[in-house]
Amino acid sequence: MRTLLTWSDRGRDGPAPDHQGQRPRSDRGPLMRLLEHGEGWDRVVVLCLEDGGRAAAGLVRELRELDHAPAVELRILELDDPSDHAQLFTVLGPTVAQFRGDSGSLDVCLSAGTPQMQTMWVILVAAGLLRARMLQVIPAVFVPDPHPHPIRVVRLDIEGFPEIRAMREELGRLRAESRARSGSLVGESESMRVFLRRLTHVARADVPVLITGETGTGKELVARAIHAASDRARGPLVAENCGSFSEGVLASELFGHEQGAFSGAARRHRGLFEQADGGTLFLDEIAETNPRVQVMLLRVLQEGRLRRVGGESEIAVDVRVIAATHRDVPAMVERQQFREDLWYRLRGATLELPPLRERGRDLELLVGHFVAETQGDGGERAWPTAQAWAALRAYRWPGNVRELRAEIVRWRVFYPDEDTISLDMLSPEIAAALGHTANVQQPETVQAPGVDEPPRPLLEQLGVVEARALQAALSWSSGNLSKAARALEIDRNTLKAKLARHGLR
């Protein structure tokens, strides 16, 4: 079967943007020209965005009316920014995976979509991720009518054409960024943006990594994101907490032991390094290891070889080590509680996770994420009142993200049928952060203050009103974002940002 894969060439629904010129009425667009002058396809798959669905549907109807029309399929993809290479790479993943295993022939059209959409086809084909022939439709304004060959096959195997190293590097960066963001790391604050950029660079470098940060900041999630974004993603990821074992047991767990190596060693045991061969080993609380285990770790990191406890022969292992700790390791080195050479070996790529109190608006995103996660398939989605939000923002969160999730689980346990969480429903220590007692009642609606009552901050009141307006629009549109955005007379991307800020999606 011959298949043509292409973006729609009809743009967004409604009037064209000012920067786009009007297409002459005689020009039916590159896709119609391609099918009229092409070699014939059995199937055409047209991709479009949600805000271009109506225009793309019109294109599909025209294609189906052609003589000897092929089977035409329209796929609507969710994409915030069609000029973002990383988003394009992610959203095209399922389509690329489908056609990668297809036994038929595949062509892609380079003449439809944004320049970034067109570039992405070239990247995918040149990198070998998509086996396809690239076709370019020569614009009608540049050629006489009729033109003997209005379709051009684009090839990169031109004599003297250099190896596109930058393209390969860009592909690797996009893959790493996509995999890192597809995990459970939630955050849009500036500190997390900087952290995720560093994570993407570190993931692609096959060196040991040390993750530092306070308790509960999510160091294991970061380790999993690094593994998923690395070239070792297809290998195993083995995780262990070094603080949960005694000295002798930890050495056996990490490096394995031979039969009879010690009392109770009834058979040979493969350690975690061997189990993680070809992949990644995550060692949490690395600062809790004793000097003997530190020496053995240093040897594996330097030479890639280990000896099981009680063993005589060395075993080669190919493992990337990611370590984590909440301790002040440089201070431990000064006190000779941690080996200096191991410290330098581990700190080649250090990532410091910011605490929750320094992540600004990520608090709202995380609350929305955990509320949706703990809600399950049914029940009300509880949301804090303005006064409860003030307490959540004022609290210092010594347990960071882990403590926040525990607090939201508590809401689900004690208030399963409530759709709002007031100040008195919060844990006492969180409610006390606002400087009020935990039994203060908070009205659930925006009310005018009394004569002797000071007015609430304007931003808090506007936030409550905006959240209710967004909820009403979503209910009216049955969850259709494009329809809701048109009703509110705002851009769809603006709507998505506001929904995320209020935790409504």
Segment 166-223, tens digit of pLDDT: 555 566 666 666 666 655 788 888 888 889 889 988 988 889 999 999 999 999 999 9
CA distance 288 to 156: 54
Do residues 365 and 187 touch, judged by C-beta distance below 8 A?
Answer: yes
Q: How many CB atoms lie within 10 A of CB 373?
A: 13
pLDDT attached to residue 19: 46
Q: Which residues pair with 153 in a beta bridge?
A: 135
SS3 letters across 319-331:
CEEEEEECCCHHH
pLDDT attached to residue 429: 93
pLDDT attached to residue 221: 92
CA distance 283 to 161: 46
SS3 letters across 346-407:
HCCEEEECCCHHHCCCHHHHHHHHHHHHHHCCCCCCCEECHHHHHHHHHCCCCCHHHHHHHH
Q: Say which residues have a Cβ less than 8 Å from residue 415's Cβ, sequence separation at least 6.
A: 382, 421, 425
CA distance 226 to 209: 9
Closest to 443 in 3D by CA, of 423, 419, 460: 423
pLDDT attached to residue 487: 85
Contacts 24+ apart (CB under 8 A), 65-69: 66/32, 66/35, 66/36, 68/40
pLDDT attached to residue 40: 80
pLDDT attached to residue 169: 59
Q: What amino acid occupies position 355? A: P
Closest to 493 in 3D by CA, of 482, 479, 477: 482
Is the whole-model pTM more than 0.95?
no
- Exposure on the CB side of residue 105, measured as CA atoms within 13 A: 8
- Total count of residues recorded for the chain: 505
CA distance 351 to 382: 34
pLDDT attached to residue 428: 92
Q: What is the dihedral of CA 409, 413, 416, 421, to 10 degrees?
A: -60
pLDDT attached to residue 446: 45
pLDDT attached to residue 300: 93
Q: What is the dihedral of CA 352, 355, 358, 363, to 10 degrees?
A: 130
| DSSP designation for 242 | G
CA distance 149 to 129: 29
pLDDT attached to residue 442: 40
Q: How many CB atoms lie within 10 A of CB 505?
A: 14
pLDDT < 50 positions in the chain: 19, 160, 436-452
CA distance 111 to 45: 15
pLDDT attached to residue 9: 86
Do residues 500 and 362 touch, judged by C-beta distance below 8 A?
Answer: no
